[in-house]
Each structure stands twice: as structure tokens, then as C-alpha cells.
Amino acid sequence: MKILVTGSAGFIGFHLVNKLLSENHEVVGIDNLNTYYDTKLKIDRLYEQGVKYKSNKIKFKFRNYTFYECDIVDNFNLKLIFKNEKPDLVCNLAAQAGVRYSLTNPNAYIKSNIVGFQNVIECCKNFKINNFLYASSSSVYGANRKLPFSTKDITDSPISLYGATKKSNELVAHSYSHLYNIKSVGLRFFTVYGPWGRPDMALFLFVKALINDEKIKVFNKGNMLRDFTYIDDIVEGIFSIIKNPIKDPFKIYNIGNNKPVNLLDFVNVIEKCLDKKFKIEFKDIQPGDVKDTYADVSGLYSDFKFKPKTNIEFGVRKFIDWYLNYYKVKK
């Protein structure tokens, strides 16, 4: 099967491409390599997959992986890629990520998460691609206070622009599914972490700070729960859907660990791994932040017999091992 993955040099995209290649699928990757975080990390991810990036090139080919440097907002070049590659399935992971960044850079979210998303799903319509997976987020649950979060819950009250754009993706996908018979699957990811992760995420920030003897900020005085979900579980969840296409025209699944962890317990796990103590500055909860997240994954298990299984101790250790090796840090 030929699978097109947008955001392929991003954290989840990188790991998904690795999985698809290991299963002998032909993969077409698209990424704009933006500067939201260090571009070197994205280029190094590509290098791990055999793509020797050069800034004056647009297309790269390595075995059964073809990579294009392209922004999904660039509708003209996006359509050319779809026309030339003719994928069987599209997995849209490209997005402007981060709740807090959306408070100061809202236009980036409208462009990538709404205009870009629309461009991708419109290409699916125009080029007769009937299988479409896309990244949603636990942020769509917003002000919902019922735990665990279920896909049956009403999600009309996002409390961040990021969450609002992800909810809009679900609504657009539903309309295209109804109008054009595109089978679409929305994946609500819960706090993904692991090797090659994003530098703006808590685990990355905390490990970096502890190694450098820097203070960390812990919001809501640590009174927060997060359903930390290891990257391998996320990818296995996505792949279980790819290899067993849904019969329903439209579905949404939570992909979370189904075991929320208190933020201070998370901090303690990091301290044990590095045998050091944090310097902590306790702060009030930030605007846009959800206090607790907890995924009901019964839908994913019912349809695909899949449930995340990686515990936080194992996952944090794997990330730290990668971090120390990648940045050549001696403990």
C-alpha cells in the first residue's frame, strides 16, 4: 500500500514512517520543516530514515520512502504531490502543535490546522482517496470535567485555540465523509512522549533542566493529571487502524494510556532515572491548559483489540536514554 503521511518529520510522523517502512509499505512523506522548534532535530529524524537533507532540494527518494519538503498550506504544490504519487491512504499529522504557543501566535494555527487541513482533505476528494486518518487531540475535551474522556462526550467547549482547530478538523472530516464518501478516522492523542520527542513538551523540558541544574515551572502547583502515552503505543494504535480499515464512514478514537499520572509523580520518575532532585517553581495553571486528562480507550479496544501498555517508568527511561545519547550527555 502507498501511504502519504503529512508532518512526516515531526515526532509522531517520524515514528509512524519507521513503522510503515518496517512493514514494507511505500511511504510518501510531506513536511515543511518549520522553525517552531529546532529544525536540526527534524533533519536528523530524516537522516535516520536515509534522507540526506539539502535545503536546495524539494524531493528526496530513499528506497520505498519519498520525502517532499512542502507546506500543506501550499495548495498548488500539495496538489502536484497528490497527482504524481497517487496514494492509497492519507494520514494527516501535519499541524501547528502546542496549546501555549496558540496564545501568542494564533495565525499559525489557523493557517496550518484549518487552511492546511482543508487543503489535504480536499486533495483526498479530488484524487479519489477514500481512506483518510488525521490527528485530533485530547484538547478537544476542553472544559469537560467527566473522567475518563469518552468519544461519546460532547466536545463543544474547547478552552484553547489549538483545541478549537482540532475540533474543527473533526467537523470538516465528518462533512466530507457524508458528502464525498471519504472514510475518515480522527485520532485524539493524549500527551505523547518518547525518544525523538518535541522540545516544547514537559518531559523534554524537565530532563534538559535537571541535567543543566535549572529550575522547572510546575503549573497548578502540580495538581494536574496527564494520561502520558508512549510513542510506540501511539504508532501501534495508528497502524492497527491502517491495516484494518474501518467500515464506518466516520469514526473518532482516543489513543491514550488509560492510566493518568499526577504531574508530581511524573517529576519523581524523572528524578529517580537521573538520580537528581529538581529545583521547582510552582505556578498557577496557565490559560488554555486542561487540569486533568484521562482517555477512555474502549472504542479502540472494541474495534481493534488494541490498548496501550507502556508504563511511565519504562517510557521515561527510554526517552532519557535517547536524550543522553543524542545530545552526548554524560550522567
Task: Report the catalytic residues.
Answer: 162
Distance from C-alpha of 28 to C-alpha of 26, rounded to nearest angstrom:
7
Q: Is residue 53 within 8 Å of 47, Cβ to Cβ?
A: yes
Element (H, E) at 12: helix 11-22
Distance from C-alpha of 237 to C-alpha of 28, rounded to nearest angstrom:
20
Distance from C-alpha of 90 to C-alpha of 245, rounded to nearest angstrom:
12
Question: Residue 314's closest CA among 220, 232, 215, 218?
Answer: 232
CA distances from 61 to 49, 65, 69, 247, 322 (A): 11, 6, 12, 33, 27
3-state secondary structure of 60: strand
Length of the chain as a residue count: 331
Distance from C-alpha of 59 to C-alpha of 67, rounded to nearest angstrom:
6
Element (H, E) at 188: strand 183-189
Distance from C-alpha of 309 to C-alpha of 291, rounded to nearest angstrom:
23
- State the residue for C-alpha cell 532535530: 41
Question: Residue 139's closest CA among 308, 311, 292?
Answer: 292
Q: State the sign of the Cα–Cα–Cα–Cα dihedral 66, 72, 75, 79.
A: positive
3-state secondary structure of 201: coil
Bridge partners for 292 per DSSP: 225
Q: Which residues contact 104 (CB under 8 A, 6 or more apart)?
A: none
> Rg of the Cα trace of the chain?
19
